[in-house]
Amino acid sequence: MTVPISPASLASARAEFAGGRGYLAACTVGLTPRASRDAIIVDAHASAGGRPDPVAYSALVESSRRHFADLVGVSADRVAVGSQTSVLAALIAASVPDDAEVLCAAGDFSSIMLPFVHAGRGIRVRIAPVAGLADAITERTWLVAFSIVQSATGEVADADAIVAAAHRAGARTFCDATQAVGWLPVDAGAFDALVCHTYKWLCAPRGVAFLTLSAQLQYLVPPIFAGWYAGADPWTSCYGHEVVLAEDASRFDVSPAWQAFVGAEPALALFADMDRAAAHAHTTGLAAAFRDRMGIPAPPRPSAIVTWSDASGCDLARLGAAGVSASGRAGRARVAFHVFNDDDDVGLAATALIG
């Protein structure tokens, strides 16, 4: 396991980003760290010069897998490599028995919901507010699928209560941690399955996602996307139908987008080496300071994302005019504070809105 760096080194981590001032949109897409930028440039020159290296690409994939495993507290053999949240969610949907019930959070990100909604086979999707998700679990519930941090609102789910209620009812849990890993400490081992796309808070190129699976759920998931990289030995699994799949979670690997991992590996290394508690305190502290300036009530659980009603888009326009990168979702304005932000970003955004 990587030894976390001290909280004081968050300043060093921030120095790994060339930009950041006024950028409050990590919940939409993260900023590329310097090391990722440099690695992508070097690889582009090597490839253009006739020197692409598939073996080196594969090594970066495996190093990225280990970094993500460190980030979420599981062993690397419990991590599968993918490209998109919806594709990995579809794997979990394929494991749901015919006519079973899946409980989802109201207003959750569609990529975590639609694979179950359109799975067919009589699967019933029931919806409940994220704050009441634990109470909505019954003995009829086969799976609870939810984002630990809601994309539209920044609300942090009470994951402990959801997991406890699911265990009591004999249900399984599937967590989307895309809006969490990178600022919120997450223990993937608490869930039967967890998915995370890394292009937001982990600041990797789009096209790198991971799925963690418990040993128990793994045996219920059909490897419907199996290809050569899902083989026990990928480099001898390129031809024929008699390929032996890996015994661990890598049997669910999707053939990796090599160039995306060139940029992802340094970014994941940066966050794997970061003190998770310090990053959480820094990001949520900035968000709390912004809420105080704006008079927005504190949420039940601290979040690095702040949203408020902005149906007309006027507040979003004010932020943009002041040089603040923010986003609008579901009739709300949305800002996000990451490790590369500081108190000046809080002041810049608040001044743009209230003077």
Domain membership of residue 220 (yes or no) is yes
How many angstroms separate the CA atoms of 3 and 310, rounded?
42
Phi then psi for residue 338, to 5 deg, are: -115, -175
The residue with tokens 């997991």 is 163
Residues 106 and 223 in one domain: yes
Residue 235 maps to which CATH number?
3.40.640.10
Residues 176 and 238 in one domain: yes
Residue 317 maps to which CATH number?
3.90.1150.10
Residues 168 and 108 in one domain: yes
Per residue of the chain (355 residues), give pLDDT as tens.
Answer: 233 334 447 888 888 999 889 999 999 999 999 999 999 999 999 999 999 888 999 999 999 999 999 999 999 999 999 999 999 999 999 999 999 999 999 999 999 999 999 999 999 999 999 999 999 999 999 999 999 999 999 999 999 999 999 999 999 999 999 999 999 999 999 999 999 999 999 999 999 999 999 999 999 999 999 888 889 888 888 888 888 998 999 999 999 999 999 999 999 999 999 989 999 999 999 999 999 999 999 999 999 999 999 999 999 999 999 999 999 988 999 999 999 999 999 999 999 999 8
Residues 131 and 73 in one domain: yes
Among the candidates 218, 249, 272, a domain finishes at 272
Domain membership of residue 2 (yes or no) is no
Residue 310: give the domain boundaries: 7-32+276-354
Residues 237 and 294 in one domain: no
Q: Look at the alpha carbons of 40, 43, 47, 53 in this order and tell me if their dihedral is positive or negative.
A: negative
Q: What is the arrangement of strands in the sheet containing 332-336, beginning at the earlier edge strand?
A: 305-309, 332-336, 327-329
Domain membership of residue 259 (yes or no) is yes
Residues 120 and 243 in one domain: yes
Number of folded domains that form the chain: 2
Among the candidates 249, 272, 295, a domain finishes at 272
Residues 323 and 194 in one domain: no
Among the candidates 244, 272, 300, a domain finishes at 272
- The residue type found at 339 is V
The residue with tokens 């008699």 is 242
Displacement of CA 170 from its chain's centroid (Å): 26
CA-derived radius of gyration, the chain: 21
Alpha helices in the chain (DSSP H): 10-14, 34-48, 54-72, 85-95, 110-117, 133-136, 159-169, 215-218, 258-272, 276-294, 314-321, 343-354
Residues 169 and 238 in one domain: yes
